[in-house]
Amino acid sequence: MAAHVVEAGERVLRRRRRVWIYLVLVGLAVFFLFPLVFMFVSSLKPDGQILSDLGGWRAFLPLGDISLRNYAGVFDRVPVGRFLLNSVIVTVAIVGAGLVVNSMAGFAISRLRWTGRGVVLSVVIATLIVPFETIAVPMVYWVSQLPTLVFQHGQVEYDFGWLDSYQVQIIPFIANGFSIFLFAQYFSTIPTAIDEAARIDGAGWFTIYRRIAVPLSGPAFATVAILTFLPAWNQYLWPSMVVQDENLRPVMVGMQYFFQDNTAWGEVMAYTSMITLPVLVVFLAFQRAFVSSVAASGVKG
Amino acid sequence: MKRKSLSIIVAAGLSAALALGGCARASQDSAGAPGEITMWTHSAGNPGELAVYKQIIADFNASQHQYKIVQQNFPQGSYNDAITAAAAAHKLPCLLDMDGPVMPNWAWAGYLQPLGLPDSLINSLLPTTVGRYRNTVYSAGYWDAALSIFARRSVLDKNNIRIPTVDKPWTLDEFDAAVTTLKANGYATPLDLGAADTGEWWSYAYSPMLQSAGGDLINRGTMKSADGALNGPDAVTFFTWFQQAFTNKWADNSGPVGNQRFIDNKVALSYTGVWNAKDALAAVGGDLLILPPVDFGKGPKIGGGSWQWGISAGCPNADGARAYLKFSFQDSYLTAFADSQVVIPSTASAAAASKYFSDTGALHQFAVLSQKFALARPATPGYPVISSTFEKAAKDIMNGAEVKSTLDTAVQAIDTDIKSQNNYGF
């Protein structure tokens, strides 16, 4: 009987503790949601009201003169559909090609035995300490001198200069030192006995990479995909420098369209809501995979 | 299987190499087709301004058949990065606009060639809309902007504060007394100086106050040192006042940027620009006062020099670019810019035709302020460094740093930069 009472008391205590934990978690979730709520709510308000509501709870509530005018204003000011399409093309290409190129490089460094691979890995890691801003201007010069094929007058011709193109936004960012390092680390955890068995069965290195290493490295691929997706989607400085044609600009450069002498804050919020939505959808759709991949690969974002 | 894949790759590679070796170089180079004049603006996202450009370009292209203007628009925030990158890649457009104070740096860096417009045209423009570097005109603009102090007549009358005029602006003592009175009578922060803003705004907004007090950003006679100008007794006196304006809670840096606090009547006086006048007029109506800047001792001053047009050094169609610019400086276009953007037209005749800036226009006062008090920022290639150094020093002082030593450090940074660039050719 006494044991029964003690057990019931412990159950109540456990329940109370859980309620408190959930309250704290809900509080934290609300805290982290504030910026998003502010953004979406402000996208429905006129500029003056956004600024007047700052500093109070009204900033987070859809009160006052609520409308979709800011969204209409965004379409008047910015070719938002075109910018979104460009960002999707650039991001998908960088992430997709990056997974292939970097995993192959990581595999070569981790599994193949060749002279100088340690030095190569060191050089790859050393690239991580060079800030992009320091090499941006020289890179502009280089890409402006690179040869390219041009299709015009019904035939293939060549020219020099990659400015104003998709490839200039994609190719420099496919190979990524951190991704190579991460793949190399992950592949090194796969037992080498599997490679040896495959070699005995007649498999070449590419077959081992494709049929064995890749299927066993799902978490590493997911992690690299996440870590390269966001910087690719958020590219700003590089496209500002190398893309002059409005039809090729990505979404983040479009953000600057709203910062005139008088900033159209309502339209800024509407635009950011529109360009954040795809990222949120991707995150929500793959939330479980993201969390498990980060946990499995031991990388924090 | 493996060999088949390899042979496909090799075949594809050979085909690509053969195609590349056999094909001709594309005929169109970066300068565009013959007679094509590339033109970059900082106006992306500004439909009013772009509409006027579209009209000018359509009219110019239709007026002759020798040249064709091809326009590209960039957002203002990334425009200078695009220009710097294009210069590095030798891909600058023929025609480019630029913020007035940046022009000397671009001219010194070899981006620009002398403008070469007729003297009669240059002389008809407001002096601050003409960009001169080492006695040569490199740029000219369709408009200028101006700063003033916004106030409500009813508020000043209620507090028995004299309304200053262009001929008799507030002295510093009067101004101090006015903000003290306003603070005592209900305004927790009576003055919005715009200190929440960042970047070049700081030198645009506050260096005229320093100049009104007798200091400056640099010794303009030589352009070789800021010593004595930025850290002399007049500068120390001004920055001591500037610091006290914040410690006395006359002003703060809490924002938001813009003029909303004045519109909401949370501040009584707002130091802001012509670009906020239309909204203020709509909100406050006839009660709005557009007041001259404070006289800190050597006469009121405001910053001059807004966006201007230049021709790149490597432009293959410079004559065409000049023909376009000459064509574009028609009063009807200047008035259209002025009324769509609420900026001060660069000619008196265009101002006379403007809805806002004619003698009877609601914002005529800005044209007067610009004519009487505007002072261009120092025309030196070192201005970008001067400006960022000034911003850092002024912010440090606002936050309580010791005035003289902070200014000495700023002078040292500016002078070091000038020396490292061989005095920028001065």
Q: What tens digit of pLDDT does each residue of A120-179 get?
A: 999 999 999 999 989 998 999 999 999 988 887 788 888 888 999 999 999 999 999 999
Domains recognised in chain A with CATH numbers: 78-258 (1.10.3720.10)
Percentage of chain A surpassing pLDDT 70? 95
pLDDT for B20 equals 47
B400: three-class secondary structure by DSSP: coil
Q: In this predicted structure, what is the pLDDT of residue B23?
A: 55
Q: Which residues of B touch A242 (CB under 8 A)?
A: 85
Q: Residues of A with CB below 8 A from B272's CB?
A: none
What residues pair up with B39 in beta bridges, in sequence order?
B71, B95
Q: Are B358 and B174 in contact (CB under 8 A)?
A: no
pLDDT tens sequence across A65-112 = 999 999 999 998 999 999 999 999 999 999 999 999 999 999 999 999
Per-residue confidence (pLDDT) for residue B72, from 0 to 100: 94
A101, A289, B182 from A97: Cα distances, Å = 6, 20, 64
∠ at Cα B13 (A208, A206), nearest 5°?
A: 0
Q: How far apart are CA A23 and CA A40, in angstroms?
A: 24
**Do A54 and B256 count as a contact with CB atoms less than 8 A apart?**
yes
Residue A298 banded pLDDT, cuts 50, 70, 90: low
Note whether A158 contacts B45, CB cutoff 8 Å: no
The helix or strand, by DSSP H or E, that contains position A123, with its residue range, turns out to be helix A117-126
Q: What pLDDT was estimated at residue B44?
A: 94
Share of chain A above pLDDT 90, in %: 64
- CA–CA gap between residue B38 and residue B317 (Å, rounded): 9
Helix (H) or strand (E) holding B138: strand B136-140
Q: Is B319 exposed, middle or buried (0-12, 13-18, 19+ CB in 10 A)?
A: middle
Tell me the per-residue pLDDT of B263-289, one tens digit each, with 9 for 90 and over.
999 999 999 999 999 999 999 999 999
How many CB atoms neighbour CB A288 within 10 A? 9
Cα angle: B242, vertex B245, B248; to 5 degrees = 145
Rounded CA separation A250/A255 (Å): 9
Subunit contact B89:A161, Cβ cutoff 8 A:
yes
Give A251 to chain B, closest Cα distance, Å.
Answer: 12
The burial class, CB within 10 Å (0-12 / 13-18 / 19+), for B135 is: exposed
The pLDDT assigned to A155 comes to 82
Within 8 A of B27 by CB-CB distance, chain A residues are: 157
Question: What pLDDT is attached to residue B344?
Answer: 97
User: Within its chain, how far is the Cα of B202 from the centroid?
Assistant: 11
* Residue A58 DSSP symbol: G
Mutate to test the interface with B, among A199, A247, A262, A268 (most CBs of B within 10 A): A262
Q: What pLDDT, on a 0 to 100 scale, did the predictor assign at position B29? A: 44
Task: Identify the pLDDT of residue B14.
Answer: 46
CA torsion sign for B231, B236, B242, B246 is: positive
| Inter-chain contacts counted by CB atoms under 8 A, chains A and B | 111
CB distance B70 to B32 below 8 Å: yes
Structure confidence at residue B19 (pLDDT): 47
- The parts of chain B modelled with pLDDT lower than 70 are 1-34
CB B144 within 8 A of CB B137: no
Domains of chain B with CATH codes:
36-142+305-360 (3.40.190.10), 147-303+382-425 (3.40.190.10)
Strand ranges for B32-121 from DSSP E: 36-41, 68-73, 95-99, 112-113
- Say which residue the tokens 């991001």 belong to: A91
What confidence tens digit (pLDDT) does each residue in A253-292 have?
999 999 877 788 999 999 999 999 888 888 887 777 777 6
pLDDT recorded at residue A262: 76
Q: Looking at CA atoms only, how far is residue A256 from chain B in angstroms?
A: 5
Residue B241: what are its φ and ψ, rounded to 5°? -65, -45
Listed in sequence order, the residues at least 6 apart from A290 whose beta carbon sits closer than 8 Å to its beta carbon are: A222, A226, A283
Question: Cβ–Cβ of B85/A159 closer than 8 Å?
Answer: no
Q: Kindly determine whether residue B82 and residue A253, on different chains, have CB atoms separated by under 8 Å.
A: no
